[in-house]
Amino acid sequence: MEQTVVSELPPLAREQAVLDLADFDEVVRLYRQRVFRFLLASLRDRETAENLTQDCFLRAYMARAHFRGDSSLSTWLLKIAMNLLRDHLRSKRLRFWTKTRETALDPIDVSDWVPDGRSSPEAELIARRQVGHVWQAVNQLPPKQRSVFVLRFVEEMELKEIAETTGMNPSTVKTHLYRALAAVRESMGGKL
Amino acid sequence: MTKETTNRQVQDLYPESDATTKRHLEGLANSISHFRTAVHHAAGQQASSLPIARQLERAAQRKRSAQRRIMLEWAVAMALCIAALVPATSYYHTHETRQQAQRQAQLLKQREADAALLDQVASELSESVPDSLQPLADMDADYTSNQTTVKETEKTNGRN
């Protein structure tokens, strides 16, 4: 259900998807993980990602009557999360005196979470190092490029869905994605 | 998403790349695939154990406190503005008063100087002979008295 694009469904299924929102517990259960993951990858801060996830579902709950089913629930929720993220980053920029949170994830933490199962300790070490490099590179991307990168490569969204979520043209999304990928590749020592 | 899918997504952005670039891109796709797995795993570890109603309640509380904080920040900003404005206004007012007093003192001094000059002119005009012409007047007086003496001497001589 998470991957369903409501706009591509027949009218009856679309109505059903809209009605699904009435059972809000189910909506949270289905999409909470995805929203949280997007915010965590974008912010690198567990507590803020958790708070914004809750804010996202609160906002969705308050605005559920306005959901027309033009896009999937997932896209709609990620759009709300994206707006919250933008507001958060903007207010953080204004509140430059606030301290960096201690809960921020660092690259070592993330690379430590790479599941085991490698063929050798060397391969595991290389994988962890790669994750650390990508994590660091993604963190240095401008917010729009980072969001597009996360939506594409972490959330597996199609360019059209990313365009709907971010409110950009598909060609702009592609440009951001290309630049993000080039920046990640460059920071990892490669050339494109 | 498998490594192949990530690789395809990456390769799609560079359709006309040569074999060397493709190999590089495969390496990049591999790293991104690991990154994706790590993020999914990290997010999975952080799942909230709170009931949904409690989560929404917490979000609502946070929203209310954020609104209060914004109002408080505005109030503090206003207070700071006023605190900065009062001394500035006071300084401006004092400065203005001082300047006005200085202007008045200067005007008064000017008037006094004008009055003294006028008095001097008036006193000089009231004199029969100005100070500057006094030597001439003295000479004239001497001359007149001499003439009178000469005439009287001639008269006396004439009578004799």
- Interval B20-79: pLDDT, tens: 777 778 888 888 888 888 888 888 875 666 677 777 777 788 888 888 888 888 999 999
Q: Cβ–Cβ of A130/B34 closer than 8 Å?
A: yes
3-state secondary structure of A104: strand
**Amino acid occupying residue A25:** D
Q: Report helix, strand or coil for B118.
A: helix
Q: Which of B9, B32, B52 is the closest to A28 by Cβ?
A: B52
In the predicted structure, residue A11 carries a pLDDT above the cut 60: no
Average pLDDT (B142-160) is: 81
Q: Which two tokens stand for residue A159?
A: 């360019």
Provide φ and ψ at A45, rounded to 5°. Answer: -135, 110
Judge: B27–A190 Cβ closer than 8 Å, yes or no: yes
Q: Where are the domains of chain B?
A: 1-47, 52-124
Nearest to B39 among A32, A53, A154 (CB): A154
- Residue B21 has its nearest CB partner, among A53, A57, A192, at A192
Complex ipTM: 0.79
Which positions in chain B have a beta carbon within 8 angstroms of at least one beta carbon in chain A? 1, 5-6, 9-10, 13-14, 21, 24, 27-28, 30-32, 34-48, 52, 55-56, 58-60, 62-63
User: Which of A35, A113, A145, A177 to probe by mutation at the B interface, max B CB count within 10 Å?
Assistant: A113
Residue corresponding to tokens 């201690």: A102
* A113:B34 CB<8 A: no
DSSP bridge pairs for A45: A104
Q: Report yes or no: A180 and A188 within 8 Å, Cβ to Cβ.
A: no
Q: What architecture does CATH give domain A1-105?
A: Orthogonal Bundle (1.10)
Give the amino acid at A32: R
- Higher-confidence residue: A106 or A51? A51
CB A146 within 8 A of CB A42: yes
Compute the nearest-CA separation of A37 from chain B (Å).
5
Q: Any idea which residue has 């980072």 for tokens?
A: A146
More confident residue, A109 or A78: A78
Task: Identify whether the C-beta of residue B19 lies closer than 8 Å to the C-beta of residue B4.
Answer: no
CA distance A5 to chain B (A): 18
Tell me the one-letter amino acid at B59: A
pTM for this prediction: 0.64
**N- to C-terminal Cα separation, chain A:** 37
Q: Do A114 and B37 touch (CB under 8 A)?
A: yes
Tokens 């605190």, residue located: B83
**Residues A38-90: pLDDT tens digits?**
999 898 888 888 889 989 998 988 888 888 777 888 899 999 999 999 999 88
Q: Helices then strands (H, E): number in chain A?
A: 9, 0
CB contacts, 8 Å: A103 with chain B? none
Provide the residue count of chain B: 160
